[in-house]
């Protein structure tokens, strides 16, 4: 069946460091992947997406890498800031969006 | 352009009552999705609707839950005879096509 999982439930980094959040997926039919950021008490906020015909996509301070061979997705945040503290979810879509459990990122000043 | 609107933001119901959650999609979006989130969990897909049609309800419990997206007005998620296990945050998302989904702030349902 479909499953999207995260390797680490929590991640703590120092302000200014780079953060890497990892995600594994199992549905090889998934053709679209998204990273969302969710702050406490709020709805998920779109960060960046990538289609299965790509292996890398860059945004402002964020990069998503897709390795279809090992079914692995990662989100890299450059120069992490306190405002980046949140729970980050990866999601994959074949017919519907399937969310992973989330990684809580804490940025220490 | 206003984002996805959900109301109420917080809803308290006693066991056996009905809960109605409303979602107004972003302007121009005709795809609406409902998700449920338990504390410390990811979002679980419930139902996908387009105007007047249910496209995919594979995540909806078979009983007590229903959803609609009428031609006019917001999408409604209805939970009849609520039980304590229905307590959760319910999020609505909308999209223009089937890709990027924009989420609302959620409705936090508490069943006492």
Q: What is the mean pLDDT of chain A?
A: 90
**Buried b vs exposed e over A49-88: b needs ≥16 C-beta within 10 Å?**
bbebeeeeeeeeebbbbbeeeebebbbbbeebeeebbbbb
pLDDT digits (tens, 9 = 90+) for B7-63: 999 999 999 999 999 999 999 999 999 999 988 788 999 999 998 899 999 999 999
| Mutate which: B3, B42, B96, B97, vs A, most A CBs within 10 A | B42
Asked whether the beta carbons of A75 and A26 are under 8 A apart, the reply is no
- State the pLDDT at residue A5: 57
Buried b (16+ CB within 10 A) or exposed e, B64-103: ebebbbeeeebbbbebeebeeebbbbbbbbbbeeeeebbb
pLDDT tens string A67-97 = 999 999 999 999 999 999 999 999 998 878 8
Tell me the per-residue pLDDT of A37-54, one tens digit each, with 9 for 90 and over: 999 889 999 999 999 999
Residue with more model confidence, B98 or B33: B33
Average model confidence (pLDDT) for chain B?
94
Strand A10-14 and strand A103-108: the pairing is parallel
Q: Which residues contact B4 (CB under 8 A, 6 or more apart)?
A: A43, B23, B24, B25, B26, B92, B93, B94, B102, B103, B104, B105
Percent of chain A having pLDDT more than 90? 74
Average pLDDT of the residues in A12-18: 97
- Residue B100: what pLDDT? 83
pLDDT score for A2: 42
For A99, the closest of B42, B48, B56 (CB atoms) is B42
Alpha carbon of A62: minimum distance to chain B alpha carbons (Å): 17
pLDDT computed for residue A1 by the predictor: 37
Mutate to test the interface with B, among A31, A43, A97 (most CBs of B within 10 A): A43
Q: Report whether pLDDT(A4) > 70.
A: no
In the predicted model, is pLDDT for residue A6 greater than 80?
A: no
């Amino acid at each position: 069946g479909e499953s999207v999982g995260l390797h680490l439930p929590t991640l703590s980094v120092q302000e200014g460091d780079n953060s890497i959040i990892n995600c594994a997926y199992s549905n090889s039919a998934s053709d679209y992947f998204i990273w969302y950021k969710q702050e406490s008490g709020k709805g998920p906020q779109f960060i960046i997406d990538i289609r299965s015909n790509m292996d890398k996509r860059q945004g402002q301070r964020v990069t998503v890498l897709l390795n279809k061979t090992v079914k692995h997705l990662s989100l890299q945040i450059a120069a992490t800031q306190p405002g980046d503290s949140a729970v980050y979810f990866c999601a994959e879509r074949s017919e519907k969006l399937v969310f992973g459990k989330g990684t809580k990122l804490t940025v220490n000043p | 352009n206003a984002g996805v609107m959900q109301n109420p933001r917080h809803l308290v119901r006693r066991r056996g009552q009905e809960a109605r959650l409303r979602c107004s999609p972003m302007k121009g979006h005709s795809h609406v999705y409902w998700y449920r989130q338990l504390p410390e969990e990811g979002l679980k897909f419930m139902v996908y609707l387009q105007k007047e049609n249910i496209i995919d309800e594979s995540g909806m419990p078979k009983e007590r839950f229903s959803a609609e997206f009428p031609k006019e007005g917001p999408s409604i998620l209805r939970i009849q005879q609520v039980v304590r296990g229905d307590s959760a945050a319910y999020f609505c998302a909308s999209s223009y096509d089937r890709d990027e989904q924009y989420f609302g702030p959620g409705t936090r349902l508490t069943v006492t």
